């Protein structure tokens, strides 16, 4: 499974690609939009930003997958938003918008997961690698 160092390095390289191409590359991956998610660190209280693919849209919101590449641990960004669901999301280099993160219910996951895993096979593989149920999170605009 990817180490924290490897995940941070991949995120840095992804950001560099976006910067070097002035956004012409890096805002879409594997047919999915890439969102920039900013959470507040649960231990530090500092903003933490990651780039994530969003395999589904739900109204004005985005669905992200807390897979961590099939690791048995949840990604740090998921733990952060679970503790503090008020987040910010930017799409295609646009302005950060305040959003609320919500872990989907079992019923919602039962409907969403087959759509995600059927279209993006990497997610199905991640679920096969781990005993934990990979959470799905909806990022919804705050009123």
Question: Is residue 10 classed exposed, middle or buried when 0-12, 13-18 and 19+ CB atoms within 10 A define those classes?
Answer: middle
Q: Which domain holds residue 25?
A: 4-141
How many domains, in total, are found in the chain?
Answer: 1
Q: Supply the CATH number for residue 64's domain.
A: 2.30.110.10
pLDDT at 114: 96
Taking 80 as the threshold, does the pLDDT of residue 4 lie above it? Answer: no
Contact call for residues 51 and 89 (beta carbons, < 8 A): no
Q: Which residue has the higher pLDDT, 4 or 45?
A: 45
Burial zone of 50 (CB within 10 Å; 0-12 exposed, 13-18 middle, 19+ buried): buried
Q: Band of the pLDDT at 100, cuts 50, 70, 90?
A: very high
What average pLDDT does this structure show over 92-110?
Answer: 94
> Predicted confidence band at 110 (pLDDT cuts at 50, 70, 90)?
very high
pLDDT of the residue at 94: 82
Instruction: Say how far apart CA 109 and CA 123 lie, in whole Å.
Output: 13
């Amino acid at each position: 499974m990817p180490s924290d160092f490897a995940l941070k390095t991949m995120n840095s390289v992804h950001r560099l690609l976006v910067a070097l191409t002035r956004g012409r590359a890096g805002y879409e991956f594997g047919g999915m939009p890439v969102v920039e998610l900013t959470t507040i660190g649960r231990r530090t209280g500092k903003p933490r930003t990651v780039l994530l693919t969003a395999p589904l849209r739900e109204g004005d919101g985005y669905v992200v997958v807390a897979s961590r590449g099939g690791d048995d641990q949840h990604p740090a960004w998921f733990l952060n938003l679970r503790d503090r669901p008020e987040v910010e999301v930017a799409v295609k280099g646009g302005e950060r918008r305040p959003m609320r993160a919500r872990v989907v219910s079992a019923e919602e996951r039962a409907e969403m997961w087959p759509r995600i895993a059927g279209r993006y096979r990497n997610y199905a593989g991640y679920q096969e690698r781990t005993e934990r149920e990979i959470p799905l999170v909806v990022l919804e605009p705050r009123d």
